[in-house]
Structure formats: structure tokens, C-alpha cells
Amino acid sequence: MIKIKVVEIPDDAGETMKVAEMGGGFLQPSFGLDSASLQAVVDHVRGMEIRPDDLLLATYAKTGT
């Protein structure tokens, strides 16, 4: 199981952004969830049954406006 922890990362100006730290990397944003709630979502997704006729769509996150 991948452990997830929500952490705040500061920038040079002192502003912070909440991100989810998991598996040696970061998932941004944390979607406003605390560590336990985000862990429950990831565990649920990882436990989903994948069927042969399922289709996975993946895309880059939208940036800008």
C-alpha cells in the first residue's frame, strides 16, 4: 500500500501550497482533502476491479485559463 501524507510546500515568497506526498513524489493538488481522506480515495481506486473491456483515458492536467 502506498502511504499518502498531505504536506505544505513553501515558495520563496513564503506562500504555501498543499500537496499530497506519496511514493517518493508529489501529487498536486491535494484536492482539499486531509491525509486520511485522500488515502481512502487512492486505496479505493487501487482496489477497483479492472475488466477486459474497460477503457483508460489519461491526459495532461489543464494549465492556464
Per-residue confidence (pLDDT) for residue 64, from 0 to 100: 65
Report how far apart, in Å, the C-alpha atoms of 21 and of each of 8, 11, 52 are: 10, 16, 31
- In the chain, the number of structural domains is 1
Q: Are strands 4-10 and 16-22 parallel, antiparallel or unpaired?
A: antiparallel
Per-residue confidence (pLDDT) for residue 17, from 0 to 100: 83
pLDDT (tens digit, 0 to 9) for every residue of the chain, 65 residues total?
Answer: 778 888 888 889 989 888 888 877 877 666 777 888 888 888 888 888 999 999 988 887 676 66
Per-residue confidence (pLDDT) for residue 51, from 0 to 100: 94
Domain limits at 20? 1-65
